[in-house]
Amino acid sequence: MAETGTAPSVLYEERSQRLLDQVALKETDRTPFVFATRFWAAKYAGITFEEQMYDAEKSAAALEKVLVLLEPDGYVPSLYIFGPTLSALDYRLMQWPGHGTDRNATFQYLDREYMPAKDYDEYLFDPTGYCFRKYLPRVAGAFEGLAGMPDFPSLSEWRFVGAMRAFGRPELRESLRRLLEIGERAEEAAQKSVAFVKRMAALGFPSAGGGFCKAPYDHVSDFLRGSKGCMLDLFRNKDKLLEAIDKVGELLLRGVVEETRAGGTPYVFIPLHWGLDGFMSPQHFQTFYWPGLRKVMLRLIEHDLIPVVLWEGDCTSRLELIGDIPRGKAVYWFEKTDLVRAKSVLGDTVCLRGNVPTSMLIAASPDEVDEYCKMLITKVGKGGGFILDGAASIPDEARTENVLAMAKSVRKYAS
């Protein structure tokens, strides 16, 4: 593409700055394009999804291949090489390629109730203790023995010493033994990811990934109560749910700032699941969803981090409600919400990202994709504050020529 011939270090700086400027709502030489996917790189490179999750070298080679092909201004370095760790954990919150789903089918979260409503008080009183003794043993086989962990805060004087016998019990010892191995696998995956990001930086590709956080309501829904349980709590357990949202917000923020900073990029990805249009009333959204999410965002912004919020589904009815954040400090990535309308409502507040339709990337022609990108670049990109991407990243089944048309469009059309 157009930038071949420029030194990688120069490209790296230009691309990083282009993204940061767009976030700050400044106009740049052209609209940037960010690449994110789950398994499209695997498909393109001809490896199975299972291989992408279990073979770090193949996964890295696949992602490198598509970065060289597309020359994006940023990319999300999701190698998804969590396979060995997930297997060793005997993780039950999701099914993944070759392990519950087909080896060429994406991972899927299992929406279930992992914490019954009657446990709210116990969780709220002592989330760490609840996690060790009740929650973790439910969500992964390797954690089962942790149910026998000593209840440390309850121990005093000689009881403390005596309680160490818990570590002599076979179930707990077995869990700890397994966790040592899991730790090694997770560390290896982390090191390989870090090495990959460095190698890509040397080729001129900045990472646009970084930290990860959730809307507190989504965390309660996805990881504790299940979507049905959480929706019923909106009526049956309002106060407990609000208290949990408050607590979870604080817990989620612990560590995210340090972790993200250590990674070297300021972006914190926050995918939203249960607050979109139709999933709850405006009143519920304004009580249970937005305040918790906003608080998380404001805290990240206070620490000079950039929340990248993926508003899944259609959020048109939320547009007027979600502009109450500092100007030029965050990214709103919309999936199905009309970006032209979003620009008119939020364009002075937040950088927009998206949203070439998933179905278009899979089933339409490159010309149609090109036309759509042109519309986005000229209308939404006008004046800055826009990053081109797929509606919900690049779908695994996208046609290569369509993704290429998208990547090329930012060099073809001026905002």
Partner 1 sequence: MQERERERELVEALAEMREEEAVALARAMLEGGVDPLRVLELCREGMEIVGKRFEKGEYFLPELILGGEMLEAIGALAKPLIVQAPGGPAKTHGRVLIGTVQGDLHDIGKNIVTFMLDINGFEVKDLGIDVPAATFVDAIRDFQPAVIGLSGFLTLAFDAMRDTVGAIESAGLRDGRKIMIGGGQVDEAVRTHTRADAFGGNAMAAVALCREWIGV
Residues pairing with 94 in the sheet: 109
Min dist CB 411 to partner 1, Å, is: 25
Of 178 and 273, which CB lies nearer to partner 1 in the complex structure?
A: 273
Euclidean distance between CA atoms 410 and 415, whole angstroms: 9
Euclidean distance between CA atoms 238 and 228, whole angstroms: 14
| Residue in 29, 102, 151, 174 binding partner 1, rule: CB under 8 A | 102
Q: Which residue in 62, 73, 61, 1 sits closest to 35, CA to CA?
A: 73
Q: Which residue in 359, 362, 385, 357 sits closest to 373, CA to CA?
A: 357
| Residue 69 interacting with partner 1 (CB under 8 A) | no
Of 234 and 251, which CB lies nearer to partner 1 in the complex structure?
A: 234
Q: Which residue in 106, 107, 110 sits closest to 396, CA to CA?
A: 106
| Residue 333 interacting with partner 1 (CB under 8 A) | no
Q: Which residue in 106, 295, 328 sits closest to 213, CA to CA?
A: 295
Q: Strands 108-109, 94-97: parallel, antiparallel or unpaired by DSSP?
A: antiparallel
| Residue 108 interacting with partner 1 (CB under 8 A) | yes
Of 259 and 397, which CB lies nearer to partner 1 in the complex structure?
A: 397
Element (H, E) at 308: strand 306-311
Element (H, E) at 18: helix 8-23
CB atoms within 10 A of CB 95: 18
| Residue 227 interacting with partner 1 (CB under 8 A) | yes
Of 236 and 341, which CB lies nearer to partner 1 in the complex structure?
A: 236
Within residues 348-387, the interface with partner 1 by CB under 8 A covers 357-360, 362-364
Of 347 and 395, which CB lies nearer to partner 1 in the complex structure?
A: 395
Residues pairing with 306 in the sheet: 267
Of 301 and 321, which CB lies nearer to partner 1 in the complex structure?
A: 321
| Residue 279 interacting with partner 1 (CB under 8 A) | yes
| Residue 236 interacting with partner 1 (CB under 8 A) | yes
Q: Binding segment for partner 1 among 102-110, 150-158, 160-168, 250-258 (CB under 8 A)?
A: 102-110
- Binding interface with partner 1 (CB under 8 A): 95, 101-102, 105-106, 108, 110-111, 227-228, 231-232, 234-236, 278-281, 284, 312-313, 357-360, 362-364, 392, 395-397
